Amino acid sequence: MTRRSRRAAYQHGLSAESRAALWLRLKGYRILARRHKTPVGEIDLIARRGKTVAFVEVKARESREAALEAITPQTQRRIVEAAHLWLARNPRHMNHTLRFDAVLVTPRQIPRHIANAWKTPR
């Protein structure tokens, strides 16, 4: 991958995350963090609405099916681990309902928000 294609992919990802954040705000969510980095990985968006905190993976692809398929079990585990680290630093949210959501961003369509896109392993 060339430097130019990496930069284009990065910009495409930023644009998708901005669209996803705007969509969630329009649905009444407050964005608590964007691109939250931890030693185990990054959480694209952390959003809250009422007593629910959602850890959101944003995927931009040509189709919603391709975007959903891109959220692999490995990706899910990484986000769950990163969410635990975020909660350790933000204990005031421990009593909130915690959820793992996805926002699928595709060309010429509004983003699709999937609440409870996956469950945490027990």
pLDDT tens, residue by residue, 64-91: 999 999 999 999 999 999 999 999 999 9
CATH architecture of 3-118: 3-Layer(aba) Sandwich (3.40)
pLDDT of residue 85: 96
Domain boundaries, the chain: 3-118
Sheet with 112-118, strands from edge to edge, namely 30-38, 41-49, 52-60, 97-105, 112-118
What does the pLDDT look like over 15-66, one tens digit per residue? 899 999 999 999 999 999 999 999 999 999 999 999 999 999 999 999 999 9
